[in-house]
Amino acid sequence: MDRNTIVAAALGLLEGLTEFIPVSSTGHVLLAGHFLGFDSPGRAFEVLIQLGAIMAILGVYAGRLWRIFASAPHDPRARRFILAVALAFLPAVVIGVLAHRIIKEVLFETPVLIAVMLILGGVVLLFVDRMATRPRHFSAEDFPLPMALKIGFIQCLAMIPGVSRSGATIVGALLLGADKRSAAEFSFFLSMPTMLGAFVYDLFKNRDMLDAAATGNIVLGFACAFLAALVVVRGLLNYVSTYGYGLFAWWRIVVGAVVLLALYAGG
């Protein structure tokens, strides 16, 4: 097993561990890959392995998803929830397609920006987590449609690596009146179409750049991300319901600061 394969497995584990917590999985994987000298054609690896984490959450929520879709023909609540997730997904489709080149060729290649966004996002998350709010929404399935669309626009901030897709959607939901558990849960559901769409589009855009070695690394990273994400998803909701998001905020700040110091020291 060569070094690049070992690094691919490690990055896959890192992706799975961080995808659903508000610390920016893409930011962590990009920074780790930068310092480890990992070569990713078109930065496809960092996007495509995210599907492993999504498959994990599909497995965990399979029963609930089946109930929602099976009851949709005769249950207005189920239909409204499906529409809410679709509305929240829509802004990412439009902005993601229009800004794809800038995201991959500029933002993904700027470690300093990623580190700064980790720190700023940590400060915002810490502030929001400590706010004395009175939640009005306690179930992800009951978020109003305008609220879901607003969360969708807020999610687009995560196209800047280091912001965190889950962090943006969770903070947005909290500010719009959700409690901590339902905010995380809506983020879970929204991640499914968002990351599946990113996977399909990025695979299409990079189809000519993926040789056998790159494809093998992606498959390995995908599998490791799937296994790691299974562990995180099963325990995260209970954790944030009890302890909130403070730990993740401080993690972001510390990691961002360490990365800036390392970049400065390395010139």
Residues 6+ apart with CB under 8 A from 108: 26, 30, 43, 46, 161
pLDDT band, very low/low/confident/very high, at 1 (cuts 50, 70, 90): low
pLDDT band, very low/low/confident/very high, at 185 (cuts 50, 70, 90): very high
Percent of the chain with pLDDT over 90: 66
Residue 201: Cβ-neighbour burial (10 angstroms; 0-12, 13-18, 19+): middle
**Whole-structure pTM value:** 0.90
The C-alpha atoms of residue 50 and residue 71 are separated, in whole angstroms, by 29
CA 137 vs CA 84, 149, 182, 227, 265: distances in Å: 14, 15, 8, 31, 46
Please count the CA atoms within 13 angstroms of the CA of 113 that sit on its side-chain side: 13
Average pLDDT, the chain: 91
Give 160's DSSP letter: S
Q: Residue 244's domain spans which residues? A: 3-265
Domain total in the chain = 1
DSSP assignments along 154-218, one per residue: HHGGGGSTTS-HHHHHHHHHHHTTB-HHHHHHHHHHHHHHHHHHHHHHHHHHTTTT--HHHHHHH
